[in-house]
Amino acid sequence: MKNLKLASLNGDNNRRTIVTVGNVKIGEDLVVIAGPCSVESEEQTVITAQKVKEAGANMLRGGAFKPRTSPYDFQGLGLKGLKILERARRETGLPVVTEVTDPRDVSWVCEYADVLQIGTRNMQNFSLLKEAGKVGKPVLLKRGMNSTLREWLNCAEYILAEGNPNVILCERGIRTFETYTRNTLDLSIVPSIREISHLPIIVDPSHGTGKVSLVEPMSLAAIAAGADGVMIEVHYHPHEALSDKDQAMSPVLFAGLMKRLQVLRSHMNEMRWDRERKSQEEA
């Protein structure tokens, strides 16, 4: 694809970027990022973090800066939220993924985040992308809800072109005419990205569907489609969540999902092994 000098495979079909965060290798291991939509309190975040860790999650998510549709909705705790995330990381050892919404905040949010998230509404915020490209932290770049694959990869290119090679793509659903689900989770983007880019790609079925009942089936489908991981919203008391409560899993539901993800992963490993063996036999 034209102008994707750094984001595309450039003919090297075996090239894969691995983004290392703590002891997790995104692009190699199956990564599960879980936690609340928003950081609401120390108790809510730390307990949720402990629960997702017990269930086997590798990283903690939680928003301290929340880009909300209405200015009257809960906007996040800002710096106080980041300090709570720091506490949750200390208690659990889980690396933290958190969103940054303003280019002026990038350098200091890096002091608290292990991975900077750029959300769907900011995918084409070019000054934010450039700032994120100047720091060494890995960046989780969500797909814009109205964006094509080409537009999305061009945004990744902005970060790469500034010298930061650690970009993780995240499909989180796009706008279609369908209203039953919050968004339409475009899983065909996963193998499509694989065909043209070396960047790891994960899937967020929580925002992708908006419905807790659909999160498990779409998580499994994402892994079956070849995703490098999933990002799941989990809240210790989902009905009390200050944002996105309809899509939040309880810790019990999440633990069930983790068990089935592990089973699927071992099947996927076998299939990969089969594919490798076949290509060796053909060679």
Contact footprint for Mn ion (CB under 5 A): 37, 244
What residue type is 221 in one-letter code? A
Query: Is there a contact between 153 and 1 (Cβ–Cβ < 8 Å)?
Result: yes
Shorter beta-carbon distance to ligand PEP: residue 37 or 77:
37
Q: Report the residue number whose CB is nearest to Mn ion.
A: 37
In the bound state with ligand PEP, the residue whose beta carbon lies nearer, of 142 and 198, is 142
Do 232 and 254 meet the contact criterion of CB atoms below 8 Å apart? yes
Amino acid residing at 149:
L
What DSSP letter does each residue of 170-201 carry, written as one string?
A: EE--B--S--SSSSB--TTHHHHHHHHB-S-E
One-letter identity of residue 84: I
- State the binding string over 88-107 for ligand PEP (x if CB under 6 A, else -): -----------x--------
- What, of Mn ion, ligand PEP, none, does residue 142 touch, CB below 5 to 8 Å by kind? ligand PEP
Give the one entry of Mn ion, ligand PEP, none that residue 229 binds, where binding means its C-beta sits below a cut-off of 5 to 8 angstroms depending on kind: none
Q: Please, what is the minimum distance in Å from the beta carbon of residue 264 to Mn ion?
A: 24
Residue from the set 53, 89, 137, 172 that interacts with ligand PEP by CB under 6 A = 172
- Beta-bridged to residue 168, according to DSSP, are 140
Question: Which of 37/258 has CB closer to ligand PEP?
Answer: 37
Q: C-beta of 173: minimal distance to ligand PEP in Å? A: 7
- List 44, 48, 120, 219, residue binding ligand PEP (CB under 6 A): 120
Note whether 125 binds ligand PEP by CB under 6 A: no
Distance between CA atoms of residues 166 and 140, nearest Å: 9
- Of 35, 63, 229, 238, the one binding ligand PEP by CB under 6 A: 63
- Which lies closer to Mn ion via its Cβ, residue 153 or residue 241? 241
Give the DSSP letter string of 3-17: T-TTTB-TT-TT---
User: Which of ligand PEP, Mn ion, none binds 119 (CB below 5-8 Å, type-dependent)?
Assistant: ligand PEP
Q: What is the DSSP string of 79-90?
A: HHHHHHHHHHHH
In angstroms, the CA 147 to CA 235 distance is 29
Instruction: Tell me if 205 contacts ligand PEP by CB under 6 A.
Output: no
Q: How many CB atoms lie within 10 A of CB 30?
A: 19
Considering the complex, what minimum distance in angstroms separates the CB of residue 113 from ligand PEP? 13
CB atoms within 10 A of CB 101: 21
Catalog residues that contact ligand PEP under the rule CB under 6 A: 37, 63, 67, 99, 119-120, 142, 172, 207
